[in-house]
Amino acid sequence: MQLVQRVGRYALISMAAIILTACAGQKEPAQKLIGDIESTVTAASAEAAKYVPDQLADVQAKLGTLKASFDKQDYAAVVTGAPAVLSAAQALATAAAAKKDEVLKALNDEWTGLSASLPGDVTAIQSRIELLSKKSSKKMAAGIDLAAAKVGLGDATSLWSKAQAAFASGNLDEAVSSAKDVKAKIESLASSL
């Protein structure tokens, strides 16, 4: 009977040793997978944060879960769950690039429309101010603050130059934003004249 107990005890100890060895054998692969996911997320995070923030947050949450499992020494859970998270992390760069292309196309289309119409609008406002500034147009200019209109036109012209410089340097966000500001100033001037 004692022999049976000893054999059982040794079997139990051996089984525990095998399990610990198996778990320890998964520590390095689990650690490597987490490192791979972290480096993939880091590489894609700047663009992903701007263009697909929800997707980035989801991957970061899943990575946090894997790290928690690793900290609990549940390496098997990390090794099992990591491939899907790594795949999602790798998809971040592709998704961000696709969204960026979509946004840039929309900005480019918007810039094309604004850059086609604004120069003519600025010229029309300038012509209207020049007309109203003539002595023969005193009656038409009654009640209109021509000095303020000239300053407003100067601001719009300066802002348009800024928009064109931003476009030339490849900053479509700033170019379109500035062009929209020009459009708003021109529309305001047009209604006041």
Question: Given this model, what pLDDT does residue 6 score?
Answer: 45
| Identity of the highest mean pLDDT range in 14-18, 79-83, 128-132, 137-141 | 79-83
Question: Given this model, what pLDDT does residue 140 score?
Answer: 65
SS3 sequence, the chain? CHHHHHHHHHHHHHHHHHHHHHHHHHHHHHHHHHHHHHHHHHHHHHHHHHHCHHHHHHHHHHHHHHHHHHHCCCHHHHHHHHHHHHHHHHHHHHHHHHHHHHHHHHHHHHHHHHHHHHHHHHHHHHHHHHHHHCHHHCCCCCCCCHHHHHHHHHHHHHHHHHHHHHHHCCCHHHHHHHHHHHHHHHHHHHHHC
136-146 average pLDDT score: 68
66-93 average pLDDT score: 85
Question: Given this model, what pLDDT does residue 15 score?
Answer: 41
State the chain's mean pLDDT as an integer.
78
63-88 average pLDDT score: 85
